[in-house]
Amino acid sequence: MFLYLRLLKESLSFALNALTNNKLRTFLSLLGVTIGIFSIIAVLAAVDSLDRKIKEDLSAVDKNTMYLKRFSFGPSDIPRWKREQFPDVTYDEYQYLKGAVSSAEHMAYQIFTKSETAKYEEESVSNVNVVPVSYEFEDIQSLKIAEGRFYNESESNSGSAVAVIGYEIAKALFGEQQSPVGKKIRMYGQRFTVIGVLEKQGEGMFGQSNDTGIIIPVNFIRHRYGDHNNFMTPIIIIKPQKGADADAVKADITQKLRSYRGIKAGDINNFIIDILAGFTDMIDDIIGQMNIIGWIISGFSLLVGGFGIANIMFVSVKERTNLIGIQKALGAKNRFILFQFLFEAVILSVIGGIVGMLLVWGIAKILTEVVEFEFILGFWNIVIGTGLAAGIGLLSGILPAISASKLDPVEAIRTGM
Residues 322 and 215 occupy one common structural domain: no
pLDDT of residue 281: 67
For residues 145 and 197, the answer to whether their CB atoms sit within 8 Å is: yes
> Looking at residue 243, what DSSP letter applies?
T
pLDDT of residue 325: 75
Residues 6+ apart with CB under 8 A from 31: 305, 308, 352
**Would 360 be classed as within a structural domain?**
yes
Work out the mean pLDDT of the chain and round it to a whole number.
81
Residues 240 and 115 occupy one common structural domain: yes
**Would 124 be classed as within a structural domain?**
yes
**Would 79 be classed as within a structural domain?**
no
- For the ranges 266-270, 292-296, 302-306, the one whose mean pLDDT is highest: 266-270
Does residue 365 register a pLDDT over 90? no
Number of domains in the chain: 2
Helix, strand, or coil here: 183? coil
Helix (H) or strand (E) holding 357: helix 334-371
**Would 263 be classed as within a structural domain?**
yes
Identity of the residue numbered 288: G
Closest by CA position to 87, among listed 71, 109, 107: 71
Domain boundary among 201, 235, 270: 270
* pLDDT tier at 130, thresholds 50, 70, 90: very high
Domain that holds residue 173: 87-270
* pLDDT tier at 14, thresholds 50, 70, 90: low
**Would 282 be classed as within a structural domain?**
no
What's the gap between Cα 289 and its chain centre?
A: 13
Domain boundary among 270, 296, 322: 270
pLDDT of residue 415: 67
**Would 139 be classed as within a structural domain?**
yes
Quick one: CA torsion of 46, 48, 51, 53, rounded to 10 degrees?
A: -70
Residues 207 and 261 occupy one common structural domain: yes
- In the beta sheet, which residues pair with residue 68? 236, 273
With vertex at residue 381, the alpha carbon angle to CA 377 and CA 26, rounded to the nearest 5 degrees, is: 95
Please tell me the distance from the alpha carbon of residue 84 to that of residue 70, in angstroms, as a whole number.
Answer: 8
Residues 229 and 315 occupy one common structural domain: no
